[in-house]
Amino acid sequence: MVSYADIIKRLLPGDYSTSSGNPLSPEHFEDFVRRVKEKVPELRGKEDWEVESITLEAIEWARDNICKELNFTDFSRPPDFSESVGLYVCYHPEIGNFYMVVHEEMDAASASGYFGFLLTKDKERAKEDYRYIVKEESERLEE
């Protein structure tokens, strides 16, 4: 089995997202799985849902074990809506330094969700991506 660190290393650099509960979810999911399988050949024999699950577990592992939070914005509105954007600096001996931006949404009322992440070695790119998402989501929520 491929390690979480190997998955992260092979997905670098890249911008990935998947979603559930909306009309475009099947396309998002298929594109996500296709792109991951292209970069991580060890996952090609897995079911699509397993590829998504293992990849998202790798991102959670990185966030919890090898990353440090630089910025975090929470847009949640209890009780049904949860949304956050985080910017992280990460280090692993096999990968070196890299940056990660994670954008998560969950709307319990409509049973829809979104998970997107950017992996990059470019600090400025990560900061720009984080600021862009925060600005867009702030404006969307003000409407």
pLDDT in tens, 99-134: 999 999 998 877 889 999 999 999 999 999 999 999
Angle, CA of 31, 33 and 127, to the nearest 5°:
75
Mean pLDDT of the chain: 93
Query: Is 75 a residue whose pLDDT tops 80?
Result: yes
Cα first-last separation, the chain:
46
Average pLDDT over residues 69-82: 89
Q: What is the model's pTM?
A: 0.92
Residue 59, amino acid: I
pLDDT at 78: 77
Q: Identify the weakest region by mean pLDDT among 33-37, 78-82, 85-89.
A: 78-82
32 C-beta neighbours (distance < 10 Å), count: 21
pLDDT of residue 111: 80
pLDDT given at position 107: 87
CB-based contact 46:55 (threshold 8 Å): no
pLDDT of residue 142: 77
Q: Which residues contact 121 (CB under 8 A, 6 or more apart)?
A: 12, 13, 96, 97, 98, 99
> pLDDT confidence of 55, banded at 50, 70, 90?
very high
Residue ranges per structural domain of the chain: 4-142
For residue 140, is pLDDT > 90?
A: no
